[in-house]
Chain A
Amino acid sequence: MARQVYLDYAATTFTDPRVVEAMNPYFTRSFGNPSSIYSFSEENRRAIAEARKQVASVLGSAPEEIYFTGSGTEADNWALQGIASKNRSKGNHIITTKIEHHAILHTGQFLQKNGYDVTFLDVDAEGRVSLETLKKAVTDKTILVSVMFANNEIGTIEPIAEIGAFCRERGIYFHTDAVQATAHVPIDVKAMNIDLLSLSAHKFYGPKGVGALYIKKGVKIDNFMHGGAQERGRRASTENVAGIVGLGAAIELASSRMASASERISRLRDMLIDGVMKAVPHAKLNGAPSGERLPNNANFSFIGIEGETLLLDLDRAGIYGSTGSACSSGSLDPSHVLMAIGLSHELAHGSLRLTLGEETTEEDIQYVLSVLPGIVKERREMSPLWEDYLKSFDKGR
């Protein structure tokens, strides 16, 4: 079989076989509904409690501050809508950023339509939110600040501890969407003054369809899922026992190897970045420098070519990546993140995100470096935009 190189770990990871093994008993053998009081369900209740402890120990919270959800998206929706409605009497202003995941962005827009005032903060050219910009946006009506821990497209890590300290001092709730960051970079909700945090299992080798929201004790928030009394009355729905067990096992596993994995993966990532920047003329790296971005994230723009074209050519070579180009999304607008960091439409359409993971090897990176520059060259040769770019570039010199 031809070589296959999966470089889209930020989209989703495989489920670690050890995680699958931990989950297995809860499908066929220990299948009882945790809400049933008989002893048959006791094992399930114990397993959920264990998973809650596993998550809490990674985030530095108490177990009872962890609430399992159906996804990272649900956790984001809950955090924003639950805080907004519960604290309406205190104010109607929410601050977030222009580079959030759609789960936050579209929830923010939904709240705007329902009478809330939502500020979407600008970021700098590397995708960073500044504390100064945030301070200027705060009013006496501000009830919530939501800033993602690390960006899913360009990998930039935000100044979470600084923002947390400021929000705590001002008495404003602080939520962070840590879907890309959890179990990839160190998080401590106490030290960072985080009030709410969203995470998702399938970004750290856990199963799809399960996430969690950390809610600091005492935070006033409405429920999002209404129904039964699961999750101590905070989140209705029969527990996804196997999924929750998988999330717990995955977060523990990923956190235990975080330091060594991050060192190995960031070394490979830097090799990829250096190689691409050397081999592809006029390539641009999007996002922050190595130390200030997720260890597994590389995001490039190649002027003159369109992202979907690049993805399909890479696909033929067995390489799987993603792009912020409009054509891949079904809309006509390129990625809001790439536009927010000030890229031109041309550069945003020509972006390529490669995200590394557990099974990425040095040979994989060498293979990408042997294939990618040729593809870019070939597609540029048939691009009128590249021709125009070269002419204006030569003129500019």
Chain B
Amino acid sequence: MYSEKVLDHFQNPRNVGEIENPDGVGQAGNPKCGDIMKIYLRVEDDVIRDIKFKTFGCASAIASSSMATELVKGKTVEEAWNLTNRAVAEALDGLPPVKMHCSVLAEEAIHAAINDYRRKKGLPVEKEESHDELVEHHLHGDEEEK
């Protein structure tokens, strides 16, 4: 059902935990659908120096959180903002179709954390798409392309 990479990141998640006095915090998901992702950022000179997560959810939610944090660590805030759920899923060697929304959640949580950072810094905040919009945009949009 899951790729080896998903199982690896699920069993040995990278960057788990919290950051004290973070420069940005963001959360996505809700208990109703069974996934909640919380992202903590430490930003220096516009670069994400440290990132931690806490996730309630299934294996693909945990693996997506872990992979997403690895992908944006050391990147600029702008680069991190542009991380797509598809990039997360691809880096995990794919997710089962019903689990793609977990990777969307990772993108969403990172956006929320970056906007929190921007708000604290007095920087302009970019529009965050809602989970449904993102799912519509990324998942269903993809289907239409095929």
> Which residues of A sit under 8 angstroms from B59, Cβ to Cβ?
308-309, 312, 327
- A385 & B36 in contact (Cβ 8 Å cutoff): yes
Measured CA separation A5–B31 after assembly (Å): 30
- B32 & A345 in contact (Cβ 8 Å cutoff): yes
Measured CA separation A316–B11 after assembly (Å): 9
- A383 & B58 in contact (Cβ 8 Å cutoff): no
| B2-34 CB contacts (< 8 Å) to partner A | 7, 10-11, 13, 16-17, 27, 31-34
- A382 & B13 in contact (Cβ 8 Å cutoff): yes
One of B49-57, B67-75, B119-127 contacting the partner: B49-57
Measured CA separation A382–B9 after assembly (Å): 13
Q: Mark B55-83, 1 if CB is under 8 A from A, else 0.
A: 11111011000000000000000000000
Measured CA separation A309–B11 after assembly (Å): 10
- B34 & A306 in contact (Cβ 8 Å cutoff): yes
A293 within 8 A of B: no
> Which residues of A sit under 8 angstroms from B11, Cβ to Cβ?
316
> Which residues of B sit under 8 angstroms from A330, Cβ to Cβ?
98
Measured CA separation A309–B37 after assembly (Å): 14
> Which residues of B sit under 8 angstroms from A334, Cβ to Cβ?
34
A182 within 8 A of B: no
B38 within 8 A of A: yes
Measured CA separation A325–B59 after assembly (Å): 12
Q: How far is the CB of B35 from chain A (nearest CB, A)?
A: 8
| A363-397 CB contacts (< 8 Å) to partner B | 382-387
> Which residues of A sit under 8 angstroms from B10, Cβ to Cβ?
309, 312
- A309 & B31 in contact (Cβ 8 Å cutoff): no
Q: Mark A188-232, 1 if CB is under 8 A from B, else 0.
A: 000000000000000000000000000000000000000000000
- A326 & B54 in contact (Cβ 8 Å cutoff): no
Q: How far is the CB of A335 from chain B (nearest CB, A)?
A: 11
Number of B residues, CB within 8 Å of A: 26
Measured CA separation A327–B59 after assembly (Å): 9
> Which residues of A sit under 8 angstroms from B32, Cβ to Cβ?
345
> Given known contacts A309-B62, A330-B98, is B31 in contact with A384 (CB within 8 Å)?
no
B binding-site residues for A, Cβ under 8 Å: 7, 10-11, 13, 16-17, 27, 31-38, 53-59, 61-62, 98-99
Chain B residue at minimum C-beta to C-beta distance from A383 = B56
Q: Among the interface residues B10, B31, B35, B59, which one has the most CB atoms of the partner chain A within 10 A?
A: B31
> Which residues of B sit under 8 angstroms from A387, Cβ to Cβ?
54
> Which residues of A sit under 8 angstroms from B57, Cβ to Cβ?
306, 309, 327
- B55 & A332 in contact (Cβ 8 Å cutoff): no
| A-B pairs, 9 with minimum CB distance | A327-B58, A385-B56, A308-B58, A384-B38, A349-B34, A383-B56, A384-B54, A346-B31, A345-B32
> Which residues of B sit under 8 angstroms from A386, Cβ to Cβ?
56
A305 within 8 A of B: yes
> Given known contacts A309-B62, A312-B10, A330-B98, is B34 in contact with A384 (CB within 8 Å)?
no
- B33 & A332 in contact (Cβ 8 Å cutoff): yes
A164 within 8 A of B: no
A304 within 8 A of B: yes
> Which residues of A sit under 8 angstroms from B33, Cβ to Cβ?
326, 332
Measured CA separation A308–B53 after assembly (Å): 19
Q: How far is the CB of B20 from chain A (nearest CB, A)?
A: 14
Chain A residue at minimum C-beta to C-beta distance from B59 = A312
A344 within 8 A of B: yes
> Which residues of B sit under 8 angstroms from A385, Cβ to Cβ?
31, 36, 56
**A349 contacts which of B13, B31, B62 (Cβ < 8 Å)?**
B31
Not counting A326-B34, A327-B99, a sample of 11 additional A-B residue pairs whose C-beta atoms are within 8 angstroms of each other reads A304-B56, A312-B10, A344-B31, A382-B16, A382-B17, A382-B53, A383-B36, A383-B54, A384-B55, A384-B56, A386-B56
Q: How far is the CB of A8 from chain B (nearest CB, A)?
A: 17
Chain B residue at minimum C-beta to C-beta distance from A327 = B58
> Which residues of B sit under 8 angstroms from A312, Cβ to Cβ?
7, 10, 59
Q: Among the interface residues B13, B53, B98, B99, which one has the most CB atoms of the partner chain A within 10 A?
A: B98
Chain B residue at minimum C-beta to C-beta distance from A347 = B31
Q: How far is the CB of B33 from chain A (nearest CB, A)?
A: 5
**A327 contacts which of B16, B17, B34, B54 (Cβ < 8 Å)?**
B34
> Which residues of A sit under 8 angstroms from B17, Cβ to Cβ?
382
- B56 & A305 in contact (Cβ 8 Å cutoff): yes
Q: Mark A314-326, 1 if CB is under 8 A from B, else 0.
A: 0010000000011
> Which residues of A sit under 8 angstroms from B7, Cβ to Cβ?
312
Measured CA separation A345–B56 after assembly (Å): 12
Measured CA separation A34–B55 after assembly (Å): 59
> Which residues of A sit under 8 angstroms from B37, Cβ to Cβ?
384
> Which residues of A sit under 8 angstroms from B62, Cβ to Cβ?
309, 382
